[in-house]
């Protein structure tokens, strides 16, 4: 099977040399459950790293099974629809792998300006003849690696052919205030430590969400009264807030 060409249509300015030397690490990275911010680091948006993470997840799914691969690639605060929302790690931990493993094929990714959150969208198919679409949100960790934070999926009559190009875009960056407008220097506060899997707080089974530290991408996972599972995301692009493709 022909492998897709990872030709990225990046609609953003060229990255500084420092970002090219250390891709996938950001000075505003962190955990986003309930609006908390994690420890700062250095770096810039790197949507191609999420394309690589998607392809790695697909390979691991084929090798070890869907549940095992998803558990290994889940962020500590990842959530799943069961169909109501639940923390991913305890829910996936003791579940068996389905007999048919899906093959994930990303088609587009959208990154926050700071690179802390990236939404991916694509198709899946399995060896049992099933196919569908998926939307997955990725979060950058303290070590610069990306882990998925939330996902949703649905059926399609037939998966499309592999794309020749996987589109990657970056949100508008927030305007920076001139230093002269700041009356007093900011006090440096120690950021809260990221939540560990064993210390996860109670989770609202109907809705959960957050945002990138720079506010350029926001997300919400919610379970509605009709039994529907939705992963919605909004980002800042071309000077206005826009909804990103999600369900269906």
- The full set of domain ranges for the chain reads 17-176+200-243
Fold of 17-176+200-243: Nuclear Transport Factor 2; Chain: A, (3.10.450)
pLDDT at 4: 40
CB 135 within 8 A of CB 149: no
pLDDT at 158: 72
* pTM greater than the 0.75 cutoff: yes
For residue 96, pLDDT beyond 60: yes
| pLDDT tens per residue, range 110-129 | 999 999 999 999 999 998 88
pLDDT at 98: 93
| pLDDT tens per residue, range 157-195 | 776 777 789 999 999 998 876 665 554 554 444 545 667
For residue 14, pLDDT beyond 70: no
| pLDDT tens per residue, range 38-70 | 333 344 899 999 999 999 999 999 999 999 999
The CA distance from 248 to 226, in Å, is 16
């Amino acid at each position: 099977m022909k492998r897709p060409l990872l030709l990225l249509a990046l609609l953003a300015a060229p990255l500084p040399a420092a970002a090219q030397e250390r891709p996938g690490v950001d000075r505003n990275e962190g955990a986003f459950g309930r609006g908390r911010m994690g420890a700062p680091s250095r770096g810039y948006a790197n949507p191609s790293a999420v394309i690589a993470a998607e392809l790695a997840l697909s390979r691991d799914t084929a090798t070890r099974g869907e549940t095992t691969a998803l558990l290994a690639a889940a962020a500590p605060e990842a959530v799943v629809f069961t169909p109501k929302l639940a923390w991913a790690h305890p829910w996936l931990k003791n579940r068996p792998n389905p007999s048919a493993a899906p093959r994930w094929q990303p088609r587009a990714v959208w990154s926050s300006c700071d690179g802390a959150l990236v939404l991916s969208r694509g198709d899946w198919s399995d060896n049992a003849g099933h196919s569908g679409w998926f939307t997955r949100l990725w979060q950058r960790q303290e070590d610069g690696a990306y882990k998925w934070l939330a996902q949703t999926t649905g059926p399609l009559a037939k998966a499309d052919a592999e794309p020749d190009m996987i589109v990657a875009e970056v949100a508008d960056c927030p305007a920076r205030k001139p230093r002269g407008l700041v009356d007093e220097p900011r006090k440096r506060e120690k950021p809260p430590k990221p939540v560990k899997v064993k210390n996860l707080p109670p989770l609202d089974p109907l809705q959960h969400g957050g945002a990138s530290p720079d506010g350029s991408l926001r997300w919400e996972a919610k379970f509605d009264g009709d039994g529907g599972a939705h992963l919605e995301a909004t980002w800042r692009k071309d000077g206005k807030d826009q909804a990103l493709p999600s369900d269906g």
